[in-house]
Amino acid sequence: MPFDSVDIGLVTVFVLFGGFVYSNYHTWEENFGVKRLPRTANGCPSNGAPPKLRSSEEFKQITIDRASKHQETFTGIEEYVPDKVKEGKISYDKSADDKEASEAARLLDSEGVTYGNAEDEEDRSPCLNMDHQYLSFGQYMWSQFAVGPNALALWLGGVAKLRVRDYFYRRGRLTPKKLDADDLAAKLVLESAIAIHYQGKKTDENGNLIATFAFPDFPMVMKDGIFHVADLFQVNVDLNKKKMVSSFLDDKELNGSEASILLFYYTISAFHVKLHSYANWGLNLGAEQKKNNPIPFRSALVTVIYNYFGYTSFATFFQFWKIIGVLSKNFEEGWIGSINHGVDWNSTCHPDIYDLMPYSEFINFFCKLKPFFMNEFSKVKDKYFPNCYGDALFYGSIMHSVDHCRMDWNIEDPLWLDADHPEFGLMAEIGRIVKVGFVSDIPGLTFQRHYKEIDHPFYKKIYSKAFELNPKLADSMDTCIVK
């Protein structure tokens, strides 16, 4: 009996589906398989307590050391440093308890001193690690259906639109949104998580209140695609006008457009991955957790796969972006160098951050929300989040998702990033791609992931408090890393 068109169609579907499953099994075996361990296993990078952050005093000492190499450029930075740092009374491996910080700021900064329990001190992981947790093949395949196609659709559509807009822009047939580069640079540093690089504030000779943000050991990729680490990048912002007043990179003074490229590149590469990395200590993928707490379990699963997408998969797209013309050079190694630099550098205690609360919607929100979050988490940790750390859950859900939204809102037009800059053009190009394809919400997901929509007592209570503080930011909070 000959095959009819229906039979042929079914066979074709089964063959294609079989090929899809086989291809994914090969990828899973290569990237997960026996290479990874669950958090409960000795040898897993996130087994035990998270690594301790650098103290704020250590960070300021490093900043002074780097600034000393460029004394004509960086003057007065030692004004923000405690006397005991200037006198050399601390060492890099010592964590300081900044007692002058407010309770809200200390809780925002808690990991430097109180992350985990006292008995965790000898069981801390030595360093951050973004992409290492194990998923079974079934969990991996679920993610390929539930998350993968949606993520692909977002960046394919975004990059295609970017390519078209850039084509017409270069031919003078499209005008980007009006840009105030000094305003943008100030917004990028005040209204995002990189505000923790705040060093201090002072009043200048004209009565303007100026805040300084310092980025020692600053990772970059130059126009030739080579990874480079500058000694010090600094941005000075008028807090009342919310405008950048000056910026320096080693011995070079930067304008607002140049500073904006560097700030956004740092955000999407070396800094934001710290949130991804810390999130691992807020996850539980155990069998009991799946049975007892399916919503936190699903959030953990999505976070693990998205950390894999962001670290292992992302750089594999560079060649395609080069082919279609949105990236002028495949700088995969330079990008990975930036990511690894950020993860290896860890993060820094930031007890002075409360200074910025009157000037930053982002900082005001987090300084007020985190104490409440940590208090509520402590009440339900054993019930809903066993073997998880509250700070890590906070960073990997609320701070990560709101930071994404601020990236999206801050860069209103990707063409603001100057891809033709003779030194920083490559960083602008990847910044444009990330803006259009990787910072906004993924379309068409079939599961709930916003705090505001999940019917769970812990998430509902946190959302209620967040909504009181800032409805717009509260509505952007996700329970997992899913962008």
**Alpha-carbon Rg of the chain, whole angstroms?**
23
85-140 confidence digits (pLDDT tens): 344 333 333 233 333 334 444 444 443 333 444 345 567 888 899 999 999 999 99
pTM comes to 0.90
Look at residue 18 in the predicted model and tell me its pLDDT: 74
pLDDT tens-digit readout, 26-67 = 989 999 988 899 998 988 999 989 998 888 888 989 999 999
**Does residue 218 have a pLDDT over 90?**
yes
The confidence score (pLDDT) of residue 266 equals 98
**What residues are paired with 348 via a beta bridge?**
54
If we measure between CA atoms, which residue out of 272, 448, 419, 420 comes closest to residue 343? 272
Quick one: pLDDT band at residue 239, thresholds 50, 70, 90? very high
Instruction: Identify the band that residue 3 occupies on the pLDDT scale cut at 50, 70 and 90.
Output: low
- What is the distance between the alpha carbons of residues 389 and 35, in angstroms, rounded to a whole number? 24
Decide if pLDDT at 246 tops 80. yes
**Pick from 281, 273, 261: which is nearest to 314 by CA?**
273
CA distance 392 to 271: 15
Q: Where does residue 160 fall: left (phi above 0), alpha (psi -120 to 50 degrees), or beta otherwise?
A: alpha
Please write the tens of the pLDDT for every residue from 340-357: 999 999 888 888 899 999
Q: What is the pLDDT of residue 348?
A: 86
Domain borders along the chain are 32-475
Predicted confidence (pLDDT) at residue 418 exceeds the cutoff of 50? yes
Helix (H, G, I), strand (E, B) or coil at 235: strand
Q: What is the pLDDT of residue 346?
A: 87
> Is the Cβ–Cβ distance between 391 and 473 less than 8 Å?
no
Whether the per-residue pLDDT at 15 is higher than 80: the answer is no
| Cβ atoms 111, 124 nearer than 8 A | no
What percent of the chain lies above the pLDDT cut of 70?
87
Q: Distance between CA 67 and CA 244 in Å, rounded?
A: 20
Judge whether 418 and 428 are in contact, CB under 8 Å.
Answer: yes
Reported for 253-258, long-range contacts at CB under 8 A and 24+ positions apart, including other chains, are 253/73, 255/181, 256/180, 256/181, 256/182, 256/183, 256/184, 256/185, 257/179, 257/181, 257/416, 257/418, 257/421, 258/418, 258/421, 258/424
